[in-house]
């Protein structure tokens, strides 16, 4: 739905109409204006014609029901994916895409392998949220709130900076979705300009940086963007971000068998990461035809070295592999 157009149309109506309409869309999660029964019929019809709420998507749920993937068809026929993960204790997180495909072409990532088509609009980004929030509300009644949003789907958020930030503001706005900034996270492959800009936004959202290797040679071979933004440049932008915001930064580190999981690399990583407010997140690699995941044993050793060296580290669990909904598996196919 085009939020700007909605505001324009309702400009000629009494002011409370906009508030009612926003509540209907973002809290009541209606998918047709006909359901906004507090609006006059003529207005509902007008809105259905001009700012339709229908989102063309399909749902795929994993066998255990904990992961739900939405494949959404955009107006130009391109497809994107978003994922809902139902954790314990009523925590529901949603993973949003920021682009159709990704131009950065990391060798280990299905999105990167699929190439790049275009940036998503603000409405296409918030539309993913709405689609999954509606699903959650209508299908899983007992726990119907999305509690966290991560920008870790298809694409590089900082290459679509303005639209991503506008969507963050819609998520965060109390009159719209009203999700706390601390419950929103953006992951970047290390776009230094984006990290610098985010530091000046005065927003308490979380920043994650995909590191995956502690030296430039290895990192460049996995992530071509490292040739432009070296580890040193990325970390110095992170340091300025921390100085400015006082916020913790998470470094994502995929565990890929025989590539970046040796004890020597763990030591190297620890020496880079042993800093206040740096947190390493070890992520099990979801297999592709090129790479395999590290063994649980290798991950255990890697983690224990980091801990022994004094770096802060956590481990992530994987969701939704059986429906190709896990990180790095979203290809919009
Ligand atoms: N472009 C941004 C955000 C989207 S990618 C970024 O790269 O940070 C989201 C996360 O999925 C990244 O940390 C990425 O490295 C990870 N990822 C990519 N391929 C993966 C795979 N096969 N298994 C597990 N995680 C993967
Ligand atoms: Fe793009 Fe992130 Fe995938 Fe790299 S890992 S290709 S930056 S989506």
Q: Where are the domains of the chain?
A: 3-50, 57-323
Q: Is 108 in the pocket of ligand 1 (CB under 6 A)?
A: yes
The pLDDT of residue 330 is: 65
pTM of the model: 0.95
Ligand 2 pocket, mutate which of 82, 101, 102 (most atoms under 8 A from CB): 102
Q: What is the DSSP letter of 257?
A: T
The pLDDT of residue 65 is: 84
Neighbours of 40 (CB within 10 A): 11
The pLDDT of residue 273 is: 98
Instruction: Give the strand pairing for 249-255 and 278-284.
Output: parallel
The pLDDT of residue 316 is: 83
Class of domain 57-323: alpha beta
Determine the distance separating the centroid of ligand 1 and the alpha carbon of 32, expressed in angstroms: 35
- For CA atoms 151, 88, 30, 170, give the dihedral sign: negative
Give every strand in the sheet of 278-284, ordered side by side.
57-61, 67-73, 79-86, 92-95, 148-151, 184-188, 206-210, 249-255, 278-284, 313-315
Residues of the chain where predicted confidence (pLDDT) is lower than 70: 141-143, 318-333
Q: Is 105 in the pocket of ligand 2 (CB under 6 A)?
A: yes
Ligand 2 atom showing the smallest separation from residue 113 Cα: 6
The pLDDT of residue 88 is: 82
Ligand 2 pocket, mutate which of 112, 209, 330 (most atoms under 8 A from CB): 112
Q: Is 111 in the pocket of ligand 2 (CB under 6 A)?
A: yes
Q: How far apart are CA 174 and CA 57, in angstroms?
A: 27
Share of the chain above pLDDT 90, in %: 84
């Amino acid at each position: 739905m085009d939020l700007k157009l909605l505001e324009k149309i309702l400009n000629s109506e009494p002011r409370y109409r906009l508030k009612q309409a926003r509540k209907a869309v973002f809290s009541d999660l209606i998918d047709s204006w006909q359901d906004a029964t507090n609006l006059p019929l003529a207005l509902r019809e007008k809105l259905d014609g001009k700012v339709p709420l229908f989102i063309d998507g399909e749902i795929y749920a994993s066998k255990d029901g904990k992961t739900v993937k939405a494949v959404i068809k955009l107006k130009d026929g391109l497809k994107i994916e978003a994922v809902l993960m139902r954790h314990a204790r009523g925590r529901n997180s949603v993973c949003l895409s920021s682009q159709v495909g990704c131009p950065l072409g990391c060798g280990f990532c299905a999105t990167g392998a699929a190439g790049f088509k275009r940036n998503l609009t603000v409405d296409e980004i918030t539309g993913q949220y709405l689609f999954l929030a509606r699903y959650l509300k209508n299908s899983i009644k007992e726990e119907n709130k999305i509690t966290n949003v991560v920008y870790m789907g298809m694409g590089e958020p900082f290459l679509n900076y303005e639209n991503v930030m506008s969507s963050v503001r819609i998520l965060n706005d109390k009159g719209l979705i009203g999700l706390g900034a601390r419950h929103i996270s953006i992951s970047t492959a290390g776009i230094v300009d984006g990290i610098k800009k985010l530091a000046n936004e005065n927003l308490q959202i979380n920043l994650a940086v995909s590191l995956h290797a502690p030296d430039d040679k290895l990192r460049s071979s996995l992530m071509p963007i490292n040739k432009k933004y070296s580890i040193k440049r990325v970390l110095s932008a992170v340091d300025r971000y921390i100085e400015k915001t006082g916020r913790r930064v998470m470094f994502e580190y995929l565990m890929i068998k025989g590539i970046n999981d040796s004890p020597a690399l763990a030591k190297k990583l620890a020496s880079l990461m042993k800093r206040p407010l740096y947190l390493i997140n070890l992520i099990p690699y979801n297999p592709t035809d090129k790479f395999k995941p590290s063994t649980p044993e290798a991950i255990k050793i890697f983690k224990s070295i980091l801990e022994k060296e004094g770096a802060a580290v956590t481990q992530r669990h994987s969701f939704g592999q059986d429906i190709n909904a896990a990180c790095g598996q979203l290809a919009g196919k």
